[in-house]
């Protein structure tokens, strides 16, 4: 009688059919968190790239017409292809020596000044995964804003 009982216990102990289900249930939250993080990272990278492209396009327009600030900003905003983008630009000048001067002055010795245009694009970013707490190990908070800035010399 104990022989049949012992054989049944050995067979049940050797059966590993349910182990896969238990291991999958334990690994699923971690896999989901990794997948969500990769999704967020991909969205962030694409939007950051678009913001940089917009700033670049605005700066290129600013190289041609640096006094048209509204058109520079509009060009930068439209070039991103995203909604909710704000753009700003500034023009600054310096002498060949690297000293910052007003754009209306002339450097010493009659040397021409170097003029630059800087375009900055900004946008709020809504992450899929907001923030995570790892207890005693710390926490992680996703970025909430995107910005890109490009400076180009005006010929």
Strand ranges, E, within the chain: 86-94, 100-101, 114-124, 131-133, 139-141, 145-154
Rounded CA-CA distance 52/38 in Å is 21
Strand ranges, E, within 95-144: 100-101, 114-124, 131-133, 139-141
pLDDT score for 9: 63
Which tokens is 9 given?
């216990």
Rounded CA-CA distance 121/74 in Å is 11
Nearest to 154 by CA among 75, 24, 65, 32: 65
pLDDT tens sequence for the chain (155 residues): 566 666 666 766 666 667 888 888 999 998 998 898 889 889 999 999 999 999 999 999 999 998 999 999 999 999 999 999 999 999 999 988 888 888 888 887 777 789 999 999 999 998 887 777 878 888 878 888 999 999 999 98
Q: Where are the domains of the chain?
A: 17-154
List pLDDT tens digits, range 101-118. 888 888 877 777 899 999
Token match 């590993």: residue? 16
Rounded CA-CA distance 59/75 in Å is 9
Which tokens is 101 given?
């001067």
What's the pTM? 0.76
């Amino acid at each position: 009688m104990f022989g049949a009982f012992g054989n049944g216990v050995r067979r049940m102990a050797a059966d590993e059919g349910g182990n896969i289900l238990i291991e999958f249930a334990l690994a699923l939250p971690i896999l989901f968190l990794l997948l969500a993080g990769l999704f967020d990272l991909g969205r962030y990278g694409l939007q950051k790239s678009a913001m940089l492209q917009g700033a670049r396009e605005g700066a290129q327009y600013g190289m041609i017409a640096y006094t048209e600030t509204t058109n520079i900003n509009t060009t930068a905003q439209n070039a991103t292809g995203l909604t909710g983008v704000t753009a700003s630009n500034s023009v600054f000048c310096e002498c060949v020596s690297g000293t910052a001067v007003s754009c209306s002055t002339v450097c010493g010795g009659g040397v021409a000044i170097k003029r630059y245009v800087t375009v900055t694009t900004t946008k709020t970013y809504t992450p899929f995964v907001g923030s995570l707490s790892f207890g005693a190990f710390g926490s992680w908070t996703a970025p909430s804003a995107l910005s890109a800035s490009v400076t180009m010399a005006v010929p």
